[in-house]
Amino acid sequence: MILNFIFSNLNVIVLAIWIIFWIIVAIRYFCPAWVKNISFSKLAIIAFSLRIIYGIFITWGQYYVWNSNSFTQTLLNSPLAKGVPTYDFIRPLFENNLGYFSYYVLGRFWLYIFTLFIVSILFYFLSKIWWSYRGGFSKDGPLLILILMLISGWPGVLVFIPLSLIFSIIYLVFSYFRGKKEVKIEPAFILASLVALIFNNVILDFLQKAIFFLEKVIHS
């Protein structure tokens, strides 16, 4: 009964968890005295851990659901068919009883998690390089951005990156007219991560429709 409730409302539960975590990160940045025992390094470890725990849970959940159905039970004991396209060097990993299931969860869940990790880490190092040469961030700014990208998730991170740049420009212009001499742009990234977390599907769907409409107009 509890599992059925969790599976039926998994997206809402996961979103709620990440919003709560986002609030903690925002408090750590704006009011560090309130959570002074929680460093950004610890928050980064927690963010990575949450993504991995989520991957493990949905992998187990997929196994549980397939094992509960007589038809899909056969998929749990089937190697990957030779006609299914994949790289030759990893095909031996799927030539066992759980081959098809492993291939399925890897492509359906873990590929996106690993892609998120790679993109987030690359952007973290780019932020570190930018901070070293140009400034614009606080000392923990690049690590904060890494955490915010992990919060945004995949494909939310595709919304987070351009949105954070747009918000940063707006924030810099607004701060300039307010007469601030030194401006840190982390608040723009914090806001962008929340928008990307909650509205990424809406924004990506709108962009996809807009691109399709433009292509239709151009070729008409």
159 CB neighbour count, 10 Å cutoff: 23
The pLDDT assigned to 5 comes to 83
Three-class secondary structure assignment of the chain: CHHHHHHHCHHHHHHHHHHHHHHHHHHHHHCHHHHCCCCHHHHHHHHHHHHHHHHHHHHHHHHHHHHCCHHHHHHHCCCCCCCCCCCCCCHHHHCCCCHHHHHHHHHHHHHHHHHHHHHHHHHHHHHHHHHHHCCCCCCCHHHHHHHHHHHHCCCHHHHHHHHHHHHHHHHHHHHHHCCCCCCCCHHHHHHHHHHHHHHHHHHHHHHHHHHHHHHHHHCC
CA atoms in the 13 A half-sphere facing the CB of 97? 4
Let me know: does 108 contact 130? Beta carbons within 8 Å.
no
The pLDDT assigned to 214 comes to 83
The pLDDT assigned to 216 comes to 79
| Strand, helix or coil for residue 45 | helix
User: In this structure, which amino acid lies at residue 47?
Assistant: A
The pLDDT assigned to 115 comes to 96
The pLDDT assigned to 4 comes to 81
Tens-digit pLDDT string for the chain (220 aa): 687 888 889 999 999 999 999 999 999 999 888 887 899 999 999 999 999 999 999 999 999 988 888 778 888 888 887 777 777 767 887 888 788 888 899 989 999 999 999 999 999 998 888 776 666 677 888 999 999 999 999 999 999 999 999 998 898 888 777 777 667 788 999 999 999 999 999 999 988 888 888 887 887 6
The pLDDT assigned to 132 comes to 66
Return the closest-CA partner of residue 198 out of 12, 49, 8, 44. 12
The pLDDT assigned to 181 comes to 65
- Domain coordinates in residue numbering, the chain: 14-199
The pLDDT assigned to 133 comes to 65
Report the C-alpha gap between 4 and 11 in whole angstroms.
13
The pLDDT assigned to 35 comes to 81
